A and B are shown apart, each in its own frame.
Chain A
Amino acid sequence: DVKVTQSSRYLVKRTGEKVFLECVQDMDHENMFWYRQDPGLGLRLIYFSYDVKMKEKGDIPEGYSVSREKKERFSLILESASTNQTSMYLCASSLARRSNQPQHFGDGTRLSIL
């Protein structure tokens, strides 16, 4: 089974801090994704990556950046955290571009910015 692991289940940070969320997958998937999930808004894509050192913006990239230095690891960075970034953050991976294979999700990180 595919395992997508997010480093923290719960995280509390202060406004203005630089925040790192880490995600690791163990199935050699090419694609990795970062979403945020908010009540009434559903899941919205922040960034995704098809390969090492490659990234593409999703629907809501403002205030975020990403890093993919190794194939199995995809990091989401909040450069200067703000209260409107309080949310549930979900990482996902899938086999390859246009592979018709499902996305697999981690358990999520519930981030609170005070």
Chain B
Amino acid sequence: EDKVVQSPLSLVVHEGDTVTLNCSYEVTNFRSLLWYKQEKKAPTFLFMLTSSGIEKKSGRLSSILDKKELFSILNITATQTGDSAVYLCAVHSGSARQLTFGSGTQLTVLP
């Protein structure tokens, strides 16, 4: 059975702090790892990672994948209150067409 584990489950920081969110996985026939941000409604796509060691970056957010150690991190620098959300990690494996989601990390950024 595919597993995706995220840590921490929740995190409270102040504006300007840098945070690192973790995602580890155990899946059969890994194809890709995806990060989503979920506020009050449906998740919005952030990154898709397929290769080890190649950092993907979008503004203050960046992510990298380690396929040897089976984990990914999502970094957010200079956090803002608008970054407060649940961040979901999901893995697409070759044995299944659907995504397997982690439990999510609830990030709260205080002013």
**A and B found bound together:** no
